[in-house]
Amino acid sequence: MSSREVVTLSVGGVRFVTRASTLQQFPESRLARMLNDGDQEFKLVNGEFFVDRDGTLFSYIMDFLRTLQVSLPTDFSDFQRLCREAEFYELYPLADLLGQEHLLKPRLEILEVRFFLQEMQAFFRIFGSCSGTVETLAEQITVFTGQQSGQSWNSHFPSQKPLVPLPLERPSHHDVVFQCGADYSAGDQFVARYVSIKPDNRKLINGTNVLGLLVDTLLKDGFRLISTRTVSSEDKIECYSFERMQKPASFTITANQNPGSSGIAQAKRSQMQKGK
């Protein structure tokens, strides 16, 4: 390799080693011009380029150049300083995105579970402020139906009889409805609905057991229970409210990187993790 294929930078005393092609991702940036001795801010000392800037924040600059993504810790707060560094290096797509810091900050997410118990049946309705979370949860929940004999609420899954999966009701993108338990059919036959919630493989018919598994699933997914209340004492409708801080999404930046392109490249943001 030639000496310019691998480049060493000292940014505020913090040393970085990278490829020249990485620094040339945006041809009109100061980092690209640095390689052509076109910027006096960067001093070549003993084969290393030195610039008197923040070395800690430059690690995020390098991550952006290597991946064309912005991934910041959930507790990151130096948006203005990082934006200022991006402007210094004339990486305008990054600066434009950081200027919209509300897109990168953690957001409070609310989820509400309504539970209605009536004789041998239980009804569930889940509302969520984040449609992506509701969609993911709906993919985890499966309702199976089939006929069985007997009237026991705690009847075991009748493995000898085939069960048919039922689609969940989706009144909107933000809620999902399902039920479990048994309906009288004919004679001693009952139509039973069993609920399974991945990754748990059990098929549960008891509404209280399903509620316990649902709450446990949400707690493991980072939610915390903040309140319980009775919506209707007459109908025995209970409401469980949960919240969690949703981590900021990563964003993909696509830009015109051809030589001679305008200094302010177009940035396109797209979510890289499920749940928005």
Domain check: are 74 and 185 in the same one? no
In this structure, the number of other CB atoms found within 10 A of the CB of residue 114 comes to 17
pLDDT of residue 61: 95
Is residue 254 domain-resident? no
Task: Give the domain extent around 73.
Answer: 6-103
The stretches of 19-123 forming alpha helices (DSSP H) are: 20-23, 30-34, 55-67, 79-88, 92-98
- Residue among 118, 111, 133, 113 at smallest CA distance from 180: 118
Domain check: are 137 and 83 in the same one? no
Domain check: are 90 and 148 in the same one? no
pLDDT of residue 160: 52
- Residue among 112, 114, 124 at smallest CA distance from 243: 112
In this structure, the number of other CB atoms found within 10 A of the CB of residue 161 comes to 11
Taking the whole predicted model, whether its pTM rises above 0.85 is answered as no
Domain check: are 118 and 241 in the same one? yes
Q: Domain ends where: 53, 79, 103?
A: 103
Domain check: are 114 and 237 in the same one? yes
Residue 93 near residue 255 (C-beta atoms within 8 A): yes
Is residue 14 domain-resident? yes
Domain check: are 15 and 68 in the same one? yes
The tokens for 91 are: 């990486």
Domain check: are 67 and 127 in the same one? no
Question: One digit per residue, pLDDT tens: the chain, 276 residues?
Answer: 345 689 999 999 999 999 999 999 999 899 999 988 767 889 888 889 999 999 999 999 999 999 988 888 777 888 889 999 999 999 998 998 888 877 677 788 999 999 999 888 999 999 999 898 999 999 999 999 987 665 454 554 454 568 899 999 999 999 999 999 987 655 566 789 999 999 999 999 999 999 999 999 999 999 999 999 998 767 789 999 999 987 766 666 655 444 444 333 444 444 334 344
Q: Domain ends where: 76, 103, 130?
A: 103
Domain check: are 120 and 227 in the same one? yes
Residue 264's alpha-carbon distances to 68, 138, 195, 244, 260, in angstroms, are 15, 42, 53, 37, 11
Indicate the burial class of 2 (C-beta count within 10 angstroms; 0-12, 13-18, 19 or more).
exposed
Domain check: are 11 and 86 in the same one? yes
Domain check: are 115 and 86 in the same one? no
Is residue 261 domain-resident? no
Q: What is the total count of domains within the chain?
A: 2
Cis peptide before 199 (omega within 30 of 0): yes
- Residue among 237, 173, 166, 165 at smallest CA distance from 207: 237
- Residue among 192, 101, 196 at smallest CA distance from 139: 196
Is residue 270 domain-resident? no
Residue 219 phi/psi, 5° resolution? -65, -40
Is residue 39 domain-resident? yes
Q: Domain ends where: 75, 103, 131?
A: 103
Is residue 269 domain-resident? no
Is residue 88 domain-resident? yes
Domain check: are 168 and 124 in the same one? yes
Domain check: are 69 and 157 in the same one? no
Is residue 12 domain-resident? yes
CATH code at 62? Answer: 3.30.710.10
